[in-house]
A and B are shown apart, each in its own frame.
Chain A
Amino acid sequence: MIQDSKSTDNLDTIKNKINNIPAFFKNTLSSTDKRPLVGWFCTYTPEELIVAGGFIPVRIFGRKKLIKSESYFPINFCPYIKSSWESLLSGADNLKAAIFTNSCDGMRRFFDTANKYLKDTPSYLLDVPHLRGAGSIDFFANSIGNMKRFIENLNGKKISNKEIKNAIILINNKRRLLKKYSQISTKLPELISIFSYFKVMELSMISAPEIFTDDLERYIKFIMEVDAENMTNLQPNYKNTPGIMIIGNFITEEKLWGMLSTMNLKLASDDLCISSRYFEKQIELGDDSDFLNLTAERYLNKPQCMRMADHGLKLKEIENNIIKNNIEGVIFISLKFCDTMLYSFPLLKQKLNELGIPALYLEIEYNNFSEGQLKTRVQAFLEML
């Protein structure tokens, strides 16, 4: 791929540097920010309100070995929920409160379980409509208003309009930077590994947003400088590698990203709730000071999760993405027992067939998957492409 040994050395050095995420996000990782934490689970949760209330919003990743949580849910139940429940039960996240959404059947029962058995951590469920449109936006704005009151009660302090506006500006900036980073990663797959890409995404959801955005801005600046100086002669022959799109739900399997990073795979786009569905679309601040309504509008109109009603629109989003990014193959990864994802595949498959795009269908456990088997399947798929 790379023509001469000098440039290979150079590339390897740069690659190692760029993929040293702990070094770039040192401040984020060593943050001593003392603000209390409010946990969240679903990308329909407006972090802005949590920040405005004086808390740090942290997405719960679970990642705990299941010990107690198995006895609360049936075997064929969302593994992410079980893992997160284990985490809440252990108190490891040290949360002031947890905010759930009615994103799916599993999440509703998760909220009920937390509400029933987790007495020390207040929990709240945000009602998110399944439809988009004016009536839904008004309804959702009202729900967000209720969530605001819940947050206000946590520390007995009213949240002002100014605090919401500042929080919107902050989170908008985080989303803007994440999008920029995503675009750069797509442009420079040889430099930024899939593992690093998702690691940064993860950090964006579990860190104090002010510190994280500073780190990310510096990181992006560094990559851009490398890009400008070196890319013209270092850009490898990645042109012949087919562009892949990954579609899935809460896929945060580090081993998986690590595995994909070692393969000849160009991640050209994704539709995941830990990346694009999280950072796409800003809250449009204009003259309107009805911030709750503007927030509702953004969240309902962002790239939608499979839980939303208009699956036709979701398919259109994916189709546009495929065309825009010259996607040649789709890897569909779902956590097991995720109904809304699993129901989306029959029509997605049909659409991909119409577009002539091959697809690989994977169902995985959370935090526990068979690497060898998966690797063989992905390799076979890439060879086919």
Chain B
Amino acid sequence: MCIKDKLKTRVQRNLNQKYIRRLLNIIAKKPVLYAYGSTFSSLSDKYLNIFTIESLRNAYSNNNHPIGYGSLFLPYEMFHALGITPFLPEVMAGFTAGLGLATQTLKEASSNWYSQDLCTFHRSASGAVELDVFPKPDFVITTNLACDAAQKSFYIHSVKYNIEKNFYLIDVPYEYSKESILYLTGQIKNICMDISSKSGMKLDTSKFKEVINLSNEFRKWAIKVNNLRKTLTNYPPYYNGLNFILPFHGLAGTREAVILYNQMYKELKKYLDKEEKEKSGKNKSPKRILWLHLKPYYKNEIFNILERENCRVVFEEINYIYWPELDPERPFESLAKKMLSHFLSGRIDNRINVILKAAREYKVDGAILFSHWGCRQSNGGARIIKDSLNKLNIPTLVLDGDCVDQNNSSQGQVKTRLQGFVEILNS
């Protein structure tokens, strides 16, 4: 049994905050952490794991920094500028799947009246909150950007920890307009001021500028990575663009995100250079796939099947850099514009535009929309997405499944559908 499996088993057997904290304190010690990091075959994975563990250690250790629960699509720059340690329950729900804990957390959620029709990211996170597995937050910040679920489930978390007064919703308007920017800027500013006064941590303008600059730096490398991927076919082993959700969002505005994406760029560049040198035309080029939405975070065969069928996911919409460069002189307004620029905000046309742009730029042969159970915002637009891609003659597979609950997804059916789809691509 490898070290990762051993860790997994230990957490499964000792599902409590104290044990997780102890474990993180051990692994996050520099020599151990870097030794652990070196067990990953790709450099991107190594830094991803190191920074994730450090981020979790910070959240679980009772240091002097306040902890803020945050939903996925928040501008985390505000957390880092305020000195709040971010903790992303939705991302952690993905971890519950990966660590084989989701059955327990989902069961706990059900016993607390969470309907089984709800999204399992939120249900599993809520179950973990009810089980006291997550660190206690000082603030809960969420947004209605993309979906309704976060603002609802996060409020329940704030009640659980008796901090309703420290619950904040960033209400992102539907349209990108002058009025929307004003409305949103005001909200972000007020929230930052309120948190600053409650936490006693001064809102330091120079710190905010530094964070914004780091965010821009991360953005620059992420764009370079995305550009490289337009031609790259052979990736480092086990590289999966859907694994970088935490740094892409939660670490935006930190040096770690800059290092990670810089390393990722260098690593992928090497692969691209090698690929160009070895271009012999002997091997049949793989079919290029665009991945829409997220993926299952428990052990599954989807990407192995695609690999075996000579298909390669060349881009994931979730990695699209949707926001303009931020202005360090106008941090609140910049973050408002960042949120309003998100392609999951507003009309489905915003998402379609990104999808079609990616389909063209990455020269994809097909698209897979992973239809995560209970995700109304994504699945509700599946028909329009499919029809739009079909106009470009790009076949689209809407693959039903569940990102968190493996009991809600039939591996056999997934395999059959993937194989059928590959047949269409090859025909």
Residues of A within 8 Å of B153, CB to CB, are 343
Q: Which of A5-13, A29-37, A71-79 contacts B (4 or more CB under 8 A)?
A: A71-79
Cβ distance A88 to chain B, nearest Cβ, rounded Å: 15
Q: Is the Cβ of A109 less than 8 Å from the Cβ of B381?
A: yes
Residues of B within 8 Å of A72, CB to CB, are 383
Indicate whether A152 reaches chain B with its CB closer than 8 angstroms.
Answer: no
Q: Is the Cβ of A345 less than 8 Å from the Cβ of B115?
A: yes
Instruction: Give residues of chain A (154-188) contacting chain B, Cβ–Cβ below 8 Å.
Output: none
In Å, the complex CA distance between A131 and B188 comes to 13
Q: Which of A43-51, A274-282, A332-340 contacts B (4 or more CB under 8 A)?
A: A332-340
Residues of A within 8 Å of B119, CB to CB, are 339
Indicate whether B236 reaches chain A with its CB closer than 8 angstroms.
Answer: no
A105 in contact with B147 given A116-B384, A343-B118 (CB within 8 Å) = yes
Residues of B within 8 Å of A2, CB to CB, are none
Cβ distance A284 to chain B, nearest Cβ, rounded Å: 24
Q: Is the Cβ of B152 less than 8 Å from the Cβ of A105?
A: no
Residues of B within 8 Å of A109, CB to CB, are 348, 376-377, 380-381
Among the listed B117, B149, B174, B377, which residue makes an inter-chain contact with A125, where contact means beta carbons less than 8 Å apart? B174
Cβ distance B246 to chain A, nearest Cβ, rounded Å: 23
Q: Is the Cβ of A349 less than 8 Å from the Cβ of B377?
A: no
Instruction: Give residues of chain A (41-84) contacting chain B, Cβ–Cβ below 8 Å.
Output: 71-74, 76-78
Q: Is the Cβ of B164 less than 8 Å from the Cβ of A343?
A: no
Q: Is the Cβ of B383 less than 8 Å from the Cβ of A71?
A: yes
Cβ distance B423 to chain A, nearest Cβ, rounded Å: 23
Indicate whether A104 reaches chain B with its CB closer than 8 angstroms.
Answer: yes
Among the listed A71, A127, A139, A339, which residue makes an inter-chain contact with B148, where contact means beta carbons less than 8 Å apart? A339
Indicate whether B374 reaches chain A with its CB closer than 8 angstroms.
Answer: yes
Q: Is the Cβ of B171 less than 8 Å from the Cβ of A127?
A: no
Residues of A within 8 Å of B381, CB to CB, are 109, 112
In Å, the complex CA distance between A76 and B171 comes to 26
Residues of B within 8 Å of A307, CB to CB, are 148
Indicate whether B98 reaches chain A with its CB closer than 8 angstroms.
Answer: no
In Å, the complex CA distance between A189 and B132 comes to 46
Among the listed B113, B175, B186, which residue makes an inter-chain contact with A135, where contact means beta carbons less than 8 Å apart? B186
Q: Is the Cβ of B376 less than 8 Å from the Cβ of A78?
A: yes
Residues of A within 8 Å of B179, CB to CB, are 139, 142
In Å, the complex CA distance between A337 and B122 comes to 14
Indicate whether A231 reaches chain B with its CB closer than 8 angstroms.
Answer: no
Q: Is the Cβ of B384 less than 8 Å from the Cβ of A76?
A: no
Among the listed B183, B371, B380, which residue makes an inter-chain contact with A105, where contact means beta carbons less than 8 Å apart? B380
In Å, the complex CA distance between A307 and B382 comes to 23
Q: Is the Cβ of B383 less than 8 Å from the Cβ of A113?
A: yes
Q: Mark B146-186, 1 if CB is under 8 A from A, else 0.
A: 01110111011001000010000101011100011001001
Residues of B within 8 Å of A71, CB to CB, are 383
Q: Is the Cβ of B347 less than 8 Å from the Cβ of A112?
A: yes
In Å, the complex CA distance between A350 and B387 comes to 44
Indicate whether A346 reaches chain B with its CB closer than 8 angstroms.
Answer: yes
Q: Is the Cβ of B159 less than 8 Å from the Cβ of A347?
A: yes
Residues of B within 8 Å of A349, CB to CB, are 113
Indicate whether B373 reaches chain A with its CB closer than 8 angstroms.
Answer: yes
Instruction: Give residues of chain A (186-230) contacting chain B, Cβ–Cβ below 8 Å.
Output: none
Q: Is the Cβ of B377 less than 8 Å from the Cβ of A108?
A: yes
Among the listed A76, A78, A111, A345, which residue makes an inter-chain contact with B113, where contact means beta carbons less than 8 Å apart? A345
Indicate whether B263 reaches chain A with its CB closer than 8 angstroms.
Answer: no
Instruction: Give residues of chain A (278-306) contacting chain B, Cβ–Cβ below 8 Å.
Output: 306
In Å, the complex CA distance between A77 and B377 comes to 10
In Å, the complex CA distance between A125 and B152 comes to 22
Which B residues are within 8 Å of any A CB, using their own CB? Answer: 112-115, 117-119, 122, 126, 144, 147-149, 151-153, 155-156, 159, 164, 169, 171, 173-175, 179-180, 183, 186-187, 347-349, 371, 373-374, 376-377, 379-384, 387
If A76-B373, A129-B171, A306-B152 are given as contacts, then 13 extra A-B residue pairs at C-beta distance below 8 Å, sorted by A number, are A74-B371, A102-B174, A104-B376, A105-B380, A112-B347, A131-B171, A136-B171, A311-B152, A342-B118, A343-B149, A346-B114, A346-B126, A350-B159
For this complex, 11 residue pairs linking A to B, each with C-beta atoms less than 8 Å apart, are: A74-B379, A105-B147, A105-B377, A112-B348, A131-B169, A136-B183, A337-B374, A343-B122, A346-B112, A346-B114, A350-B159
Q: Sort A-B residue pairs by CB-CB distance and give the 9 closest, nearest first.
A: A109-B380, A343-B152, A112-B348, A105-B376, A105-B377, A127-B174, A309-B169, A342-B115, A346-B113
